[in-house]
Amino acid sequence: MSHHFQTARITISDIGLKKRRGEKIIMLTAYDYPTARALDEAGVDILLVGDSLGMVVGGLESTLPVTMDMMVYHTSMVARGRKKALLVGDMPYMSYHVSRARTLHNASRFIREGGADAIKIEGGRKRIRTIRALLSAEIPVMGHIGLTPQSLNMMGGYRVQGKTSDAAHVLLDDALYIQDAGVFSMVLEGLPAEVAAMITERLDVPTIGIGAGRGCDGQVLVIHDVLGFIDKPSARFVRKYRNFFEDIKESARDFRADVESGSYPSDSECYHMAPGQTPEGKQATNAAGA
Ligand code: KIV
């Protein structure tokens, strides 16, 4: 039997190695083929198909209505666009909460139908059994603690977590529990910078922060925030590198003006018939020329 070793692909071991070498881990969300290609070519280490797609692509109010079918569909688009980056699929709300069998079925869809290399689940110590079950099915797991958007109703809103020493220690314990359970890395979201740095120092596995300060082993942002593809006020931690929303509006306005003025399409933007041919054909030519 021959195996094709894809040495060019970033693996979960490479992600662990980056922490040990003190190299920052770069993760961005991606939801479609062209974005995946661009991010992969730019050298992003991990592409996360986040359930944030429900909000930034689908216009939903929260991530809670996002389904497995939506996630698998978008993951497969991203899989076709990436060559090197590690691809992580985000398990949506209620896809890993009901039973071991259901969880494994859903997670395996990310791998088999979506082409993902790993999955991400939200939650601390209450996910220990789930993480172990996923690992027993050979599915690598990224954890996610702190502000976990699927717990929106339990948290009473999107609130920074771990603001007191007690809360910080509960989070540290959660991080240690899921590390022991076997996650290969974890997202720390919406935490005071000092708390995220303390957790990062205490862990062997890498942390990837979002709204969690500079002390994490890597950083992740939602690509629509990075591109300015959303015309809503951004959270404090977002750095917006472009203004796609305005660029798209401007491009559409320019197109509209060009069509209305008749400057689009120009002659070079039109197809033409083969030399000597006319739309009327022979008959018309004969009739005209007879
Ligand atoms: O869904 C998502 O995009 C995420 C990241 C913000 C970590 O979970």
Helices (H), the chain: 12-21, 33-41, 53-56, 68-81, 100-112, 128-136, 152-155, 165-181, 193-202, 223-227, 244-261, 281-289
Domain boundaries, the chain: 12-246
For tokens 């009473």, name the residue.
156
Q: Which residues of the chain have pLDDT under 70?
A: 1-7, 282-290
Residue nearest to atom 1 of ligand 1 (CA): 50
This prediction has a pTM of 0.94
DSSP at 54 = H
**CA 152 remoteness from chain centre:** 19
In this predicted structure, what is the pLDDT of residue 232?
87
CA distance 92 to 54: 10
**Ligand 1 mean position, distance from CA 259 (Å):** 40
Residue nearest to atom 8 of ligand 1 (CA): 50
**Cβ–Cβ < 8 Å for 117, 86:** yes
- DSSP three-state, residue 145: strand
210 in ligand 1 pocket by Cβ < 6 Å?
Answer: yes
Ligand 1 binding pocket mutation candidate from 78, 208, 220, 227 (most atoms within 8 A of CB): 220
CA distance 118 to 184: 9
**Ligand 1 mean position, distance from CA 52 (Å):** 6
**Ligand 1 mean position, distance from CA 30 (Å):** 10
- DSSP three-state, residue 144: strand
Q: How many alpha carbons lie under 13 Å from residue 23 in its C-beta half-sphere?
A: 11
**Ligand 1 mean position, distance from CA 237 (Å):** 14
222 in ligand 1 pocket by Cβ < 6 Å?
Answer: yes
Residue nearest to atom 3 of ligand 1 (CA): 50
Burial class (CB in 10 A: 0-12, 13-18, 19+), 228: middle
185 in ligand 1 pocket by Cβ < 6 Å?
Answer: no
Which superfamily does 12-246 belong to? Phosphoenolpyruvate-binding domains (3.20.20.60)
In this predicted structure, what is the pLDDT of residue 5?
58
- DSSP three-state, residue 26: strand
116 in ligand 1 pocket by Cβ < 6 Å?
Answer: no
From 180, 181, 206, 230, select the one nearest 86 (Cα to Cα).
206
Ligand 1 binding pocket mutation candidate from 47, 56, 90 (most atoms within 8 A of CB): 90
In this predicted structure, what is the pLDDT of residue 287?
47
Question: Catalytic one among 23, 41, 189, 269?
Answer: 189
Distances (CA, A) of 16 to 13, 63, 91, 158, 273: 5, 29, 22, 29, 60
Tokens of 65: 């209505």
Is-catalytic flag, 189? Answer: yes
